């Protein structure tokens, strides 16, 4: 019986852990959830259905026209009935060319949706990683608070014994107040960022949200080069630019076909009531492209094609610049993080503890211990700021090259 009860409690616990919002998410899991549940992304997907609807409409013929008429003479019995049915037949493959334009529109809608997913994944990854960095900032403040509390334990007895100045205790209080203000600022920034992230994940405002996990690894120089060279083929916005050229060409073909509007073919039946005469006739209407030869439309589409081709070159340059910039920031940032986390920071930590011990034995002044603590805090903050910039650069590079972590990449495919 106890075993069954234990299994029941374990099952209930697993169910609660499986509920969204009750367990911590890694940045990669947050991005994957946003790709599945983001409200704006779900609405963006409908642009594909709209384009598919236009494709269906583009291949439809015009509706036939039915006509009926009555002509009467001097008397009511001298009347004539007319019935007609006509259909417009498009020339020069106009419907096929219109469908060609619509097919490109569908492909462009798909790439537009894919690009929205790419940008959303990078945005959510950046937000979640900033939350992890805010946690590190809060931990840094807590560590300095503990260090300051240890200094207080040594200063207060000395102030009471008259061997230390009262101003030393006041400086400690002011430093603690400053740390408290920084903690409150970090808490406000964290709440605002969590609220923004909830919106990206499609969660209610009051839903719990916790981010945990590790920060991204720094890509090597070989990875930066390899992924950067092949990134153009993965960028949906570049595919969108290429499709703009295809659409301009399709529009140009459609404009040429529209010089011939269509042939109207009709069948007409005539019946005369008084003499019992009846007959059937056929009529054909062919528009002649004498005045309107779509020259303005052809010039417009030719210019649109040139603009689209120039847009592809501009997009390629922008993508390469974006990737190169992020790569330079990664390599430079990684070197800065290594230096700021190296021997200098370790020396500052050892010096702070050494001065604190010397102060406790009366062999150092309060100014020296206060200055050493300030130097350590400044170096810790500088190292964390360098790491924040490095993480931001890695996220920007992942977004630019579409080289996301496997969890995110799987959802993008």
Q: What is the pLDDT of residues 241-294, one digit of tens each?
A: 999 999 999 999 988 888 877 888 889 888 876 666 677 888 888 888 778 788
Residue 249 CA to residue 101 CA, distance in Å, equals 9
Helix (H) or strand (E) holding 267: strand 263-272
Confidence check: pLDDT of 12 > 60: no
Residues 6 or more apart whose CB falls under 8 angstroms from that of 85 comprise: 64, 65, 66, 67, 266, 267
pLDDT band at 391 (very low <50, low <70, confident <90, very high): very high
Give me the mean pLDDT over the 129-144 stretch: 92
Count CA atoms within 13 Å of residue 149 on its CB side.
7
- 342 and 329 in contact (C-beta within 8 Å)? no
CATH topology of domain 32-65+93-261+296-412: Outer membrane efflux proteins (OEP) (1.20.1600)
State percent of the chain over pLDDT 90: 46
Q: How many CB atoms lie within 10 A of CB 304?
A: 17
pLDDT at position 363? 66
pLDDT at position 275? 65
Give me the mean pLDDT over the 185-191 stretch: 94
Q: What is the pLDDT of residues 28-77, one digit of tens each?
A: 999 999 999 999 998 888 999 999 999 998 888 888 988 888 777 665 56
Residue 216 CA to residue 139 CA, distance in Å, equals 19
**Higher-pLDDT residue of 126, 43:** 126
Give me the mean pLDDT over the 104-127 stretch: 96
């Amino acid at each position: 019986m106890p075993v069954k009860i234990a299994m029941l409690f374990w099952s209930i616990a697993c169910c609660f852990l499986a509920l969204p919002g009750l367990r911590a998410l890694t940045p990669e899991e947050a991005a994957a959830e946003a790709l599945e549940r983001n409200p704006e992304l779900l609405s963006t997907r409908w642009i594909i259905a709209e384009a598919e609807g236009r494709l269906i409409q583009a291949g439809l013929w015009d509706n036939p026209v039915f006509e009926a008429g009555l002509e009467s003479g001097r008397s009511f019995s001298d009347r004539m009935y007319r019935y007609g049915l006509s259909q417009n037949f498009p020339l020069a493959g106009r419907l096929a060319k219109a469908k060609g334009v619509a097919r490109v529109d569908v492909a462009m809608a798909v790439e537009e949706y894919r690009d929205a997913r790419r940008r959303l994944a990078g945005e959510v990854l950046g937000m979640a990683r900033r939350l992890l960095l805010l946690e590190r900032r809060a931990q840094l403040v807590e560590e300095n608070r503990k260090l300051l509390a240890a200094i207080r334990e040594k200063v207060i007895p000395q102030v009471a014994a008259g061997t230390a100045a009262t101003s030393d205790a006041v400086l400690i209080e002011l430093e603690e107040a400053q740390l408290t203000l920084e903690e409150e600022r970090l808490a406000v920034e964290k709440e605002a960022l969590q609220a923004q992230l909830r919106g990206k994940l499609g969660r209610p405002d009051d839903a719990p949200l916790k981010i945990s996990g590790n920060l991204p690894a720094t890509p090597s120089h070989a990875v930066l080069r390899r992924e950067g060279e092949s990134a153009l083929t993965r960028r949906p916005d570049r595919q969108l630019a290429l499709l703009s050229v295809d659409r301009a060409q399709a529009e140009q073909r459609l404009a040429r076909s529209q010089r011939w509007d269509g042939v109207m073919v009709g069948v007409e039946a005539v019946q005369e009531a008084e003499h019992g005469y009846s007959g059937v006739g056929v009529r054909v209407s062919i528009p002649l492209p004498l005045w309107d030869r779509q020259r303005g439309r052809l010039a417009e589409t030719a210019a649109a094609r040139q603009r689209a081709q120039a847009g592809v070159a501009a997009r390629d340059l922008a993508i390469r610049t974006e990737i190169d910039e992020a790569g330079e920031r990664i390599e430079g940032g990684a070197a800065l993080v290594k230096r700021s986390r190296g021997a200098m920071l370790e020396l500052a930590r050892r010096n702070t503890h050494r001065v604190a011990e010397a102060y406790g034995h009366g062999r150092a002044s309060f100014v020296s211990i206060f200055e050493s603590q300030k130097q350590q805090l400044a170096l810790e903050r500088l190292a964390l700021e360098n790491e924040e910039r490095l993480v931001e650069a890695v996220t920007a590079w992942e977004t630019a090259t579409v080289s996301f972590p496997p969890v995110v990449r799987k959802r993008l495919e």
